[in-house]
Amino acid sequence: MFTVQTASKRAAVSVCASRARIHSLLHIPTLLQVASRQRSSPVLAALDTTSFAAHISDKQPWIERRGFGTSASKAKEETVAYKLADIGEGITECEIIQWFVKPGDKVFQFDKICEVASDKATVEITSRYDGVIKKLYYADNDIALVGKPLVDIAVEAPALAQQPKAKEPAVIELAPAVMPSTAAAPQDFSCERTNDVVYATPAVRRIAREGSVDLRFVAGTGKGGRILKDDVYRFVESSREKPAPVEPIVVATTVAAQSKASRSDAVRPGSGDHIVNLSPVQRAMFRSMTDSLSIPHFRFKDEIEIDALILARQRINSAQQPQADAAADKITLMPFFIKATSLALAQFPILNSRVLAEPGATPRLEYRAAHNIGVAMDTPSGLIVPSIKNVQDKSLLEIAAELRALVLRGKAGALTSSDLRGGTFTLSNVGMIGGTYLSPVVVSSEVCICAIGRTQRLPRFDGNSDRVVARNVLVTSWAADHRVVDGATMARFSMLYKQLLEQPELMLARMR
Amino acid sequence: MLCRILRKSDPESFVLYLWRNRPTIVIGRNQNPWKECNLKMMASRNVLLARRTSGGGSVYHDMGNSNYTVVMPREAFTRDKCAEMVSRALHHADIPAYVNERHDVTVEGRKISGSAFKLTNKRAFHHGTMLIDTDLGRLHGCLHSEAKDDIEALGVESVRSVVTNLREYSLSIDHLTFCQAVMREFGRTFGKLDVGRNVTVWDESDTDVVGMVEEERKRISTWKWLYGQTPRFVHRFGGVVGGKPVVAKVSVYHGHVTEVSLEYDAGQEDADDCGIFQMISDSLVDAPYVAADIRGCLGPISRESPAAAELCRWILEKIMEAASGDSA
Is B154 within 8 Å of A141 when comparing Cβ atoms?
A: yes
What integer pLDDT is reported at residue A480 of this predicted model? 94
Is A37 within 8 Å of B12 when comparing Cβ atoms?
A: yes
What integer pLDDT is reported at residue B203 of this predicted model? 65
What integer pLDDT is reported at residue B308 of this predicted model? 79
CA distances from A168 to A65, A87, A151, A214, B70 (A): 12, 7, 15, 20, 21
Q: How far apart are CA A6 and CA A12, in angstroms?
A: 7
Looking at domain B3-226, its CATH architecture is 2-Layer Sandwich (3.30)
Residue pair A248/A235 in contact by the 8 Å Cβ criterion: no
Contacts B225 to A, Cβ<8 Å: none
A151 closest CA partner among A191, A102, A213: A102
Residue B81 confidence (pLDDT) above 70: yes
Which top CATH class is B233-322?
alpha beta
Q: Which residues contact A295 (CB under 8 A, 6 or more apart)?
A: A442, A444, A481, A482, A483
Is B154 within 8 Å of A327 when comparing Cβ atoms?
A: no
What integer pLDDT is reported at residue B54 of this predicted model? 82
Q: How far apart are CA A54 and CA A36, in angstroms?
A: 11
What is the three-class DSSP state of B13? Answer: coil
Residue pair A477/A450 in contact by the 8 Å Cβ criterion: yes
A377 closest CA partner among A400, A345, A411, A405: A411
- Nearest chain B Cα distance for residue A50, angstroms: 15
Is B231 within 8 Å of A140 when comparing Cβ atoms?
A: yes
Is A95 within 8 Å of B30 when comparing Cβ atoms?
A: yes
CA distances from A189 to A194, A413, B13, B22 (A): 8, 24, 21, 47
Peptide bond into A391 cis (omega under 30): no
Amino acid residing at B307: A
The values of phi and psi at residue A393, to 5°, are -100, 5
Mean pLDDT of B165-176: 86
Task: Please count the residues of chain B.
Answer: 328
- Which of A141, A168, A173 is closest, CB to CB, to B232? A141
What is the three-class DSSP state of A132? Answer: strand
Q: How many CA atoms lie within 13 A of A159 on its CB side?
A: 22
Task: List the pLDDT tens digit at each of the 512 positions of chain A.
Answer: 433 344 444 433 333 333 434 343 333 333 333 333 333 333 333 333 333 333 333 343 333 334 344 444 445 677 888 888 877 666 778 888 888 888 888 888 888 888 888 777 788 888 888 888 888 888 887 888 888 888 888 887 554 444 444 443 333 333 333 333 333 333 333 333 333 566 777 777 777 877 777 777 777 777 666 777 788 888 777 766 544 433 333 332 222 333 333 344 444 455 678 888 776 556 666 777 787 888 899 999 999 999 999 999 999 888 887 765 566 678 889 999 999 999 999 999 999 999 988 777 788 889 999 999 999 887 665 667 889 999 999 999 999 999 999 888 877 777 777 888 888 999 998 777 778 888 888 888 899 999 999 899 999 998 888 899 999 999 999 999 999 999 999 999 999 999 999 999 999 998 87
Higher pLDDT, B277 or A263: B277
What integer pLDDT is reported at residue A463 of this predicted model? 85
ipTM over 0.85: no
Contacts A173 to B, Cβ<8 Å: 75
What integer pLDDT is reported at residue A501 of this predicted model? 94
- Nearest chain B Cα distance for residue A120, angstroms: 4
Max CA separation in chain A (angstroms)? 91
Searching chain A, which residue's CA lies closest to the CA of residue B14?
A: A56
Put simply, whether the predicted model's pTM sits higher than 0.90 gets the answer no
- Nearest chain A Cα distance for residue B74, angstroms: 6
Q: How far apart are CA B223 and CA A228, in angstroms?
A: 53
Where b means 16+ CB within 10 Å and e means fewer, A490-509 reads beebbebbbebbeebeebee
Q: How far apart are CA B38 and CA B323, in angstroms?
A: 9
CA distances from B211 to B1, B215, B217 (A): 11, 6, 10
Searching chain B, which residue's CA lies closest to the CA of residue A126?
A: B121
What integer pLDDT is reported at residue B45 of this predicted model? 85
Let me know if A419 is a catalytic residue: no
Least confident residue range of A383-397, B53-67, B153-167: B153-167
For residue range B173-203, list pLDDT tens digits in order: 888 888 888 888 888 877 665 555 566 666 6
Searching chain A, which residue's CA lies closest to the CA of residue B128?
A: A120
Task: Please give the order of strands across the beta sheet that includes B97-99.
Answer: B97-99, B105-107, B110-113
- Decide if B3-226 and B233-322 have a common fold: no
What integer pLDDT is reported at residue A192 of this predicted model? 30
**Where do the domains of chain B lie?**
3-226, 233-322
What is the three-class DSSP state of A303? Answer: strand
Higher pLDDT, A61 or B150: B150
Task: Count A/B contacts: CB-CB distance under 8 Å.
Answer: 105
Amino acid residing at B268: Q
Is A117 within 8 Å of B192 when comparing Cβ atoms?
A: no
Let me know if A371 is a catalytic residue: no
For A323-390, give the DSSP string: -SSSPPPPP-SHHHHHHHHHHHHHH-GGGG-EEE--TTSPPEEE--SS--EEE-EEETTEEE--EES-
- Nearest chain A Cα distance for residue B319, angstroms: 24
For residue range B196-236, list pLDDT tens digits in order: 556 666 666 667 777 777 777 788 888 888 888 888 888 88
Is A171 within 8 Å of B75 when comparing Cβ atoms?
A: yes
Amino acid residing at B162: V
Residue pair A114/A98 in contact by the 8 Å Cβ criterion: yes
